[in-house]
Structure 1
């Protein structure tokens, strides 16, 4: 059964379209000619020809659709028609076999439908495929959160899947199944990614580690701990040693040479050999030691300056693998240590007899060396990565995805467990469906073979000819034709072909009878018992009132068949523009108020050349006369059809019921209003019942306003103002007057409660 229809992008329907929803077994659609009814029937007949439209089937199982519309008439009304096969008289046992085969097919179809519901879901129940889709949506969202957390650091590793949830999730699941990389800390991955994924990556230069060996050697010289003094066997030595002023004496020798024979300190004459004795005290060994101290001072200063300059050059050059702040701190410490030791050495030079102890810089120099050696190791690793950048990037990318997998391990494990269970259920259901569909094909073939054995086209000929005769169509009949008697011809009583000479009403009626019998048969020897949807689109066009009742009675019989148990007719649609026919075919004595559970009512309208659909919770069609007035009252009336609506009201009220002289009414008007009034009554005389009559003026808003004004004046000029106001709902009317003026449909109401 069809649960919903979307009609879009065809004929007068907009691209957004209109929807028929919550459709039921019996569906009535009323609309004027040209409003868009046939477009709906064409979509049902051939949905593939209307890609913008859509049909929603119950349980997603399409049924055979038999559609009676103008296309069906055009397609089938020709010199010969395909014969309609129906089940003929035959052995009861064979008929029982066919019935059992039908039940077998129905049972298998029910099994397929039940499994299909479990698989695909229904209404609010998602089904197993829906569960799997929900699992997929959830894991996609979780993976996307993971991506957003790490995207800033690992954009290059995520290249190609950063723009799509589905793609990123697919990558995660793929890596989950195959990634064997080692797990590394996040910070390590970030640090490496910043280098390896850098654009334009080049080799780095290693730094030259400054040599501290010379400084270390100088700092360990024994001269620093040696007391440098003169000879002890000189007679003046005892005094110098006792006073410990050899450094003072050494410095004073220069002054003594300038002041001889006087002492530079006491300014007294001294002995002539005093200068010799003092000179003997400071011998060659002493001079060598003093020279060693001098060289130590110069050498330490030069070695320290060279060492610091090397560090300064390294700092100035910079390197991504050298912590500039740490290097600065090391340089400051080395500078301070060297300066302090320089002061100690300077004191030794000034006081050679003093014992000087320098700061031990061995560990500091080792710290500098280790710091720079580590930087060079990082540079070497960097250069190795540059030389092997392809593999390095591949390895790092794998390690990044491995880290993500480890981070999402709980979510992925839960997804795997749930999906495994759902996949197993889906696999089992699909396997069962495959088996059941094979069983269905076999059962359908069995049914088809049984049907072929006892079907015939002759019973349909007999029934249609009997109906034609009973309804007064005695000038033609159906006859079998073709080499195998499986075609029909419409012939005169003398056997000549009657197709070209039939009237439009005869043509419509005989084609309808053909369709009516096709509902219970098939144009092939099999398929007679397939479930189907039946569509009647304007089946009473060009038929007189007697045939209208016959057609409505036959369609009601189809309604009854659709309610029968195990009926092949699962759903019926009736489209019409004829209010009398709509009222007759939709009559239901058991309908009190509102809709019955098995039916829907719709009206299709064309407003500003765009078709719209409106559903109702009751039968909206009461009488043709009242409906025509409701169209006049509607502010959203169609400019295209309103003039014809006014004409039909005047026809019902003044001509059919009132039998008034239209010429006398026209004479009450002057000028342009007289022309408009005459045009309205001219349509009445023409007897046109078409929406698109020959309009003598354009249907714009101004013209419509003029016609509505003249329409009202016609009632005023003829003394029927109160009737006008009653039907327009613009003025209260006394009850007694209403009783006298109320106009009902020319068709019998049959006691139908239209509300």
Structure 2
């Protein structure tokens, strides 16, 4: 790149120019070998580029698959950090796509699907957080004291009283002792005879009453009293049993609640049925009854209570150890997520495995090609050492100086690999005696040789891109022409360079470099315009026909409101000066004597248009007087008042 940095690096800080090594044409055999080896090197470099392209495509595919998979996995973050956010703590430190993706693909996949759901984890997390996070009391087991009553043998005993005597034999024969016993309540011991409670005949005597009462002796009465006592106790024990309603317990599952309700209803139904059987036994002691054994229902209920108490103890333990509980929930959450997203993760893992295998092959190929390139470069370096020199560069630079018309100084060898500027009158400090223009010329000739040659004897030529940044800013027109011709001959028309960029502010220099043939220009050159204003810089394509002269450029600048105020003001003055002084041959100052421009709002415009030095336009920044619209109106009035309104309109389009 030829710019100010190049000048500083090679000239302004050094008197000695570094040698430029070019191929000598004396060793034809070495040159032929260099040419052949260069072609081999080009083959290797082409293969290297193709291999690099494959590597880039492979990397892009890896990135694409990763983006696709990580995008799918990112659903976890969006789902659980929104809404109820109960499980958001599971994503702490994982709320970035890269972190989340690397975390989940590093988790092992469980052999079986998790037995729990997200709702289970949410319920568990909610139970230890917030206002609802409270400990629960254990539920006492059901103490069933009535079970011994149900197991008593009296319920199967036939209670009929004494079996001695003719009346007892008759009652036993007819099997109606319960009926007879009920009838005794209607008989008085004092009357003799008295009406039978069954047939209403005067047949009941004291002897019959005595015989009947002998049947229902003391043993009978004790059994009946036992039955009545059992009835009172059974009813008291069963009515006092406590069956809690666990349906509202947040720890009881639906299945447990259903089992509880079924067992509770079964127990209550059995108790009600047993109470009926006990009442019937008391009414008919001789009748055998079978009470339902409620032991199994009680066992079911107590087993369910035990299960619920386990849940209560577990909950209380989790509440007492929140951190451990949260860690456990987090672990199970990710185990579930790993299972749910296994299809995405497995597909990505397989694809990346294949792509990484391909990448390994590409890398091995790159190593092999790199070794070939290194070996070829080594051969070329060895061959070039047989042919390189700096004398040819010295001759070319001196020839260029003569061609331009400079004969006051030249370049001479200095040491083994350097050369320096020499004047006949001043050998010691010749470089510092050069003018700026002469320094530019010698530096550009040196730059040309540097582009053609190499910095070291062992260097291998590579394709070059040349950038030349406005090399004629301090040159006279004669040198501008010569530099333009050199660039055209040795850069633009020379196919040895991959690309050449030339930047310039000068329209004259621009025309020197562009091809006059539109066909050749379209084939080999691209034209661009660089815009720079307060909004920044922009580079846009430009057609040859769009190129303006300086006067037209001034008009373009003042129409761009984003241009710096000082630049706009200066360009307006240049327009007025160019048009009226040089085109219309009118005195510059007389233009501003028009009455239309005497208003106060044009004071700043008049002052800056009438300054003797354009450079003072920078003061606009200091006093903040610049108003783009006022300045444009002032310029319009100048042309209209002087009779050139049409010119103003044409140039303003």
| TM-score higher than 0.5 | yes
User: Does residue 283 in structure 1 map to residue 217 in structure 2?
Assistant: yes
Coordinate RMSD, CA, aligned? 4.6
Closer, same or farther: CA 658–513 of 1 in aligned 2, 3 Å: farther
- Cα deviation 1:14-58 (Å, max 9, x = unaligned): xxxxxxxxxxxxxxxxxxxxxxxxxxxxxxxxxxxxxxxxxxxxx
Distance 1:297 1:462 in 2: 137
Q: For residue 63 of structure 1, what is the aligned residue in structure 2?
A: none
The aligned counterpart of 2:568 is 642
Query: 2:226 — aligned with what?
Result: 292
8 Å Cα contact 2:193/2:202 also seen in 1: yes
How is 1:110-509 mapped onto 2 (pairs within 5 angstroms)? 110-120=46-56, 127-145=57-75, 155=87, 159=91, 162-175=94-107, 178-179=108-109, 181-184=110-113, 186-187=115-116, 191=120, 199=128, 209-210=141-142, 215-237=146-168, 240=171, 246-247=177-178, 249-250=180-181, 256=187, 259-260=190-191, 263=194, 271=205, 273-305=207-239, 308-309=241-242, 311-312=243-244, 320=252, 323-361=256-294, 363-365=296-298, 367-368=300-301, 371-372=304-305, 407-408=340-341, 410-481=343-414, 483-484=415-416, 486-489=418-421, 491=423, 493-509=425-441
Question: Which aligned pairs between 1:575-614 and structure 2 lie closer than 5 A?
Answer: 575-591=503-519, 596=522, 598-608=524-534, 610-614=535-539
Q: How far is 1:541 from its partner?
A: 0.3
CA spacing shift, 1:191–1:727, aligned 2, 3 Å: closer
Q: Secondary structure at 1:615's aligned position in 2?
A: strand
> How far 1:613 sits from its partner (Å)?
0.9
Cα separation, 1, equivalents of 2:325 and 2:106:
21
C-alpha displacement at 1:192, in angstroms?
7.8
* CA spacing shift, 1:625–1:492, aligned 2, 3 Å: farther
Deviations 1:416-460 (A, max 9, x none): 443333222211112111222233233333333433443333333
SS of 1:484 mapped into structure 2: coil
Counterpart Cα distance in 1 of 2:265 and 2:151: 22
Counterpart-to-counterpart distance in 2, 1:71 and 1:478: 22
User: Aligned partners of 1:155 and 1:385: how far apart in 2?
Assistant: 16
Using a 3 Å threshold, how does the CA distance of structure 1 residues 229 and 143 change in structure 2: closer, same or farther? same
Give unpaired runs (5+ residues) of structure 2: none
Aligned equivalent of 1:108, options 44, 66, 75: 44
SS at 2:453 equivalent: coil
Residues 470-505 of structure 1 show CA distances to partners (whole Å, capped at 9, x for unaligned) of 323333333333x43514235454424233333332
Distance 2:19 2:297 in 1: 110
Match for residue 570 of structure 1 among 495, 498, 506? 498
Aligned to 2:543: 618
CA distance in 1, matches of 2:85, 2:627: 71
The answer to whether the 8 A contact 1:712-1:724 is kept is yes
Paired residue secondary structure (1:432): helix
Counterparts in 2 of 1:611 and 1:302: CA distance versus 1, 3 Å: closer
Contact 2:529/2:540 (8 A) holds in 1 = yes
Residue segments in structure 1 that go unaligned for 5+ positions in a row: 1-66, 121-126, 730-755
Check 1:115–1:154 CA distance in 2 against 1; reply closer, same or farther (3 A cut): farther
Question: 3-state SS of the aligned residue for 1:600?
Answer: coil
Distance of aligned partners of 1:318 and 1:144 in 2 relative to their CA distance in 1, 3 Å threshold: closer
Aligned to 2:617: 695
Pair 682,344 (structure 1): closer, same or farther in 2 beyond 3 Å: closer
Describe the shift of the 1:671–1:471 C-alpha distance in structure 2 as closer, same or farther (beyond 3 A): farther
Distance 2:141 2:607 in 1: 115
Contact 1:508 1:541 in 2 (8 A): no
1:132 shift after superposition: 1.5
Structure 2: distance between partners of 1:440 and 1:422: 26
| Cα drift, residue 190 of structure 1 | 6.4
Residue 82 of structure 1 corresponds to which residue in structure 2?
17
- 8 Å CA contact 2:147–2:294 kept in 1: the answer is yes
Equivalent position SS for 2:288: coil
Q: Deviations over 1:606-663 (max 9, x none)?
A: 323x432141241332433333333345555542312332344455555556666557
Q: How many Å separate the matches in 1 of 2:329 and 2:387? A: 76
Q: Report how far residue 268 of structure 1 moved.
A: 6.9
Q: 1:583, 1:621 within 8 Å by CA — same for their partners in 2? A: no
Paired residue total: 636
**Which secondary structure does the structure 2 equivalent of 1:641 belong to?**
helix
Query: Match of 2:557?
Result: 631
Q: Distance in 2 between matches of 1:710 and 1:295?
A: 125
SS across alignment from 2:289: coil
Q: Secondary structure at the match of 1:531?
A: coil
Structure 1, residues 539-566: CA drift from partner, whole Å, max 9, x if none?
110212121111111122244355x2xx
* 577-586 or 364-373, which deviates more: 364-373
Q: Specify the alignment match of 2:457 in structure 1.
A: 525
Q: What is the CA–CA distance in structure 1 between the aligned matches of 2:299 and 2:608, rounded to whole Å?
A: 117
Structure 1 residues 561 and 453: alpha-carbon distance in aligned structure 2, compared to 1, 3 A threshold: farther
Question: Is structure 2 residue 448 aligned with structure 1 residue 516?
Answer: yes
Q: Could you report, residue by residue, the CA deviation over 1:213-254 in whole angstroms, capped at 9, with x for unpaired residues?
A: x64553344432333223343344466557766445545656
8 A contact 2:484–2:512 mirrored in 1:
yes
Distance in 2, Cα, partners of 1:224 & 1:427: 90
Instruction: Choose 500-509 or 148-157, whichever is displaced more.
Output: 148-157
Q: CA deviation at 1:529?
A: 2.0
Asked if the contact 2:576–2:588 (Cα under 8 Å) also holds between the matched residues in 1, the reply is no
> Displacement, 1:113?
0.9
Equivalent residues of 1:647, 1:680 under 8 A apart: yes
* SS in structure 1 at match of 2:484: helix
Map Cα deviations across residues 375-415 of structure 1 (whole Å, 9 max, x no partner): 56777998999999999999997777666555555545543
Deviation at 1:374, TM superposition (A): 5.5
* Bigger relative contact order, structure 1 or 2 (CA pairs below 8 A, ≥6 apart): 1
- What is the rounded CA distance, in whole Å, between the counterparts of 1:717 and 1:678 in structure 2? 18
